[in-house]
Structure 1
């Protein structure tokens, strides 16, 4: 580079979800994921380039390692923070899952960090941001400003006590105001917005790709906010590296499977460094990338303890409760689904429950159940909520679930593409216990519930029922708006993995059952 031109590099991770070692915790086989493998690339990049390194949210929750730490070792140093401190991250952005273990746990995480946590749109009752709103970093005379913003949809998912006293302001309006003010007051040479949220519209056409609830606002931000050079996104677990409206946009997958890399070219003109080009790319982890030994060593003891805990025997299944075909398990009741609903019903003391099969990789339970299997099946730290619902609410919820399916050109039932792209949302299809129902997919959307009975009698829309479900669903998450504002009869604070463990411990051996109380037909 000449004296009047420079190149700097922005590196970003997002949605690491507690993965350091290259393992998915389902078995002991190495996988192409995790911060230890990313660290190898990050360190090499830092040796070659002037770098700004940003973590874009959902760092401290999502794996057995972080679950075990939060539940049993919270007084010890956070394993994720140890690694990002070692890698000398410049900043972290708050993700929605940062709040899953409560404010005290999050505050301890922030205190251990050697860098600021950014959230310009999350404020306390005094209107003060809970972290820093932005970061200023000088690289060889170039002034880089990184503004941190988080999806404001968090109150629709999170337990009230975990976000008590916090306000989540509109990301788009926050970006408009802060970018405008920062351009005037800080006069950055490079303006970066790191947003823990995703794209609500197709990048090519601008057409909505989801219901426009406000959960994701990245398209609006990069098309309506002037002055942004780079927009880092996340939350949707997508792999993106392109330009939109002249803005370099990146989203580096999840679980440490990718690293966003944006080369920023500048020239010195009129007494100031000017961005003349940005080149967004995504570096994917593959078999050629070795895990960094220093990073592995930092968390080796905690990883070993977690692995021992995962291999702890819990109970036995006298029969078959494995998921071999997730699609079929969503068409007609599977013993594993009935088992989960029964656990919820016993914990809540009610006789109606709903649950989902979270992903297509959920394995079900083998004959000898370990903690590893329980965590592999119930991958979220969800607690339970009991809502009082009307028959009308239940029917509307079933109709929403029925949108998961459609008929293809051959008249076969298939998954609605909206539940697969741009982000898989298999967890937004629920299956119920305690009622009898049928969904007919050949019927128009909104008219697919063709049978709905309770104790052998048709459900009246004005009847009242107490229903247990996970907290995410009870707050209306997944477009289940019919649940919002309904009376909360009971909240069970114990997370589902612990409830499943207790259920198995008490019985030692479970005989799978399946009463076939529901099915999906053409």
Structure 2
């Protein structure tokens, strides 16, 4: 009996960073993911074998394919240490049939990426970006063809231009082909020249671009997307695809926690007729806590996991408030974690303002209240570019903030996180004209932003290079770069030095039996202790500055500006600015015996506000 229908099973994942579960309650982990993956894959393989043996069946199943949509080699703490090398045996053991490149796969440079992928046992696709020589970026493949039963399935790998602009390590002269044009060109070639019955696009793009690809390129049957860290299935009808039913775009979550089980039904009207997709079913599977590990993958990551546990499971402070590092928080609005980190950098560099972006803060989790580990800090800020100090005009700062809010409400990494600034934006306006007002909140420059004045601004080298659309931060005059990449500190270094300063001050207080900052009255002692335990105490200072910044300044301004440079207060400055003297050795001995950790309480203080429409009277409300 001729076969007139085939079920094609596909297993899909994307954006996996942590080989171990991030915490006991979250589930996930590469070895646990492998167990779930193998169970589903083995069942699909068995179903295909059974249908192959049924000679009278007109509807058969074929063996499954396992596909991945980019972002695997970074960012994670493990990757920061191994530069992605620890993931090669994991990927090979998982048994992927193909993957496309993601933006974070390039974080350690193209040569390192090519070295890593050359050791894997499956193809990497990069169909629409070429180097100036004409070679596909990172030696990727333009397409790949899989055979499943009587079917030939063509794969194409497509990326969006937006994230190419965010990568510092790419070679010059790249040639980008629009993903719709490239997708159509290659899909037509796969069907006509390579006799493919079905075409799948592996993409690393935001959902709107995946939907555009599915809507405009009918030659592509299914879009399996990465880059977004959520689970979503877009129905064919939603993008105007009346040629079939079921899902046409699939997003499969993140971090070895999620897996999409996809079944594509293809049909034909006669033995010589072409195969067409009739329907696509998708089931979301998760890797729950307690899932057994697959032994070989568990063994391949245990050594680095043990090493990380020894070095990084060390508490560095206690937070009394939750620290929300989720993308939906740091890429859409003000973040207590962004406020806290920015204020430390502003005080450490003694600048007027700090401009970071939501993409600086990683991990996508909520931490605390409770102990914060060194591991947590490194996962929040895994990037290795230093903090620079630039001289910028108010007009440049305004333009940078406009860029930061230009993509709202997309969860883009460019959304600003600031210190020393407070701004209001209106997302109903056109991009480029959304900033309503900007105020400088640093005590020395407090007041509305002067568009013609010059300010000192600390920012990441990455942003100062114009990436993520921050061309306003590019400084052509070297004299306006006050702290360059050779002399700048990593943000994690500045935070660790700050926390060490607080710890040393507690040690000094314990050693001398006095207030950490030399306060003499009971009221002063309470005030100084409060500021020492929090960069975000709530309320406002006498100067009208947000309490974060007032609290940061309390370690310097409340003491140094009043020239009350007691031994303890000066020690705090020494710790943060990395000065060393003979006091260190004695105080380190004291610190070893002090059980108390620095206590922080980051909060929101309203430095970023959004205009919302009051539905009753139509007025804008911040």
- TM-score band (shorter)? 0.7 to 0.9
1:439–1:451 Cα contact (<8 Å) kept: no
Q: Superposition pairs for residues 16-165 of structure 1, below 5 Å? A: 16=16, 18-21=17-20, 23-24=21-22, 27=23, 29-49=24-44, 50-70=63-83, 78-129=85-136, 130-159=139-168, 161-164=169-172
Question: Structure 1 CA distance, aligned partners of 2:466 and 2:281?
Answer: 35
- Note the C-alpha offset of 1:361: 4.1
SS in 2 for 1:89: coil
Question: Structure 2 CA distance, aligned partners of 1:193 and 1:263?
Answer: 16
SS in 1 for 2:161: coil
Instruction: Render the CA deviation track for 1:286-318: whole Å, top value 9, x for unaligned.
Output: 5387243222222122222222222145x557x
- Note the C-alpha offset of 1:79: 2.7
- Note the C-alpha offset of 1:256: 2.1
Question: Structure 2 CA distance, aligned partners of 1:57 and 1:467?
Answer: 34
SS in 2 for 1:153: helix
Instruction: Render the CA deviation track for 1:15-64: whole Å, top value 9, x for unaligned.
Output: 11x2222x21xx5x242223333322321232232111111001111222
2:223–2:249 Cα contact (<8 Å) kept: yes
Task: Identify the match of residue 437 of structure 2 among 431, 436, 449.
Answer: 449
Per the alignment, residue 467 of structure 1 pairs with 457
* Equivalenced residues, count: 470
SS in 2 for 1:177: helix
SS in 1 for 2:398: helix
- Note the C-alpha offset of 1:480: 5.4
TM-score by length of 1: 0.77
Q: Superposition pairs for residues 479-494 of structure 1, below 5 Å? A: 482-483=472-473, 489=481, 490-491=484-485
Task: Identify the match of residue 431 of structure 1 among 418, 421, 425.
Answer: 418
- Note the C-alpha offset of 1:158: 1.5
Question: Structure 2 CA distance, aligned partners of 1:363 and 1:152?
Answer: 33
Segments of structure 2 that go 5 or more residues without pairing to the other structure are 45-62, 506-531, 547-604, 610-621
Q: Superposition pairs for residues 108-507 of structure 1, below 5 Å? A: 108-129=115-136, 130-159=139-168, 161-164=169-172, 166-200=174-208, 217-244=209-236, 245=241, 246=244, 248-267=248-267, 269-271=270-272, 274-285=275-286, 287=288, 290-294=291-295, 295-312=297-314, 315=316, 322-323=321-322, 337-343=339-345, 346=348, 350-355=351-356, 358=361, 361-363=365-367, 370-378=373-381, 383-398=386-401, 419=409, 424=411, 428-433=415-420, 437=422, 439=424, 446=434, 448-449=436-437, 451-452=439-440, 455-456=445-446, 459-471=449-461, 473-474=463-464, 482-483=472-473, 489=481, 490-491=484-485, 495-501=490-496, 504=499
> Which is bigger in relative contact order (C-alpha 8 A, separation at least 6)?
1
Decide whether aligned partners of structure 1 residues 487 and 443 sit closer, same or farther in structure 2, where only a CA change above 3 A counts: farther
SS in 2 for 1:174: helix
SS in 2 for 1:157: coil
SS in 1 for 2:275: strand
Per the alignment, residue 513 of structure 2 pairs with none
1:142–1:273 Cα contact (<8 Å) kept: no
1:61–1:98 Cα contact (<8 Å) kept: yes
SS in 1 for 2:255: coil
> Which segment drifts farther, 301-310 or 285-294?
285-294
SS in 1 for 2:227: coil
Instruction: Render the CA deviation track for 1:348-397: whole Å, top value 9, x for unaligned.
Output: 7854312356478453796x763123124335555445554321222344
2:342–2:417 Cα contact (<8 Å) kept: no
- Note the C-alpha offset of 1:183: 2.2
TM-score by length of 2: 0.65
SS in 1 for 2:28: coil
Decide whether aligned partners of structure 1 residues 198 and 374 sit closer, same or farther in structure 2, where only a CA change above 3 A counts: same
Question: Structure 2 CA distance, aligned partners of 1:85 and 1:450?
Answer: 51
- Note the C-alpha offset of 1:284: 2.8
Which one has the bigger strand percentage?
Answer: 1
2:317–2:373 Cα contact (<8 Å) kept: no
Decide whether aligned partners of structure 1 residues 181 and 38 sit closer, same or farther in structure 2, where only a CA change above 3 A counts: same
SS in 1 for 2:226: coil
Larger Cα-atom Rg = 2
SS in 2 for 1:234: strand
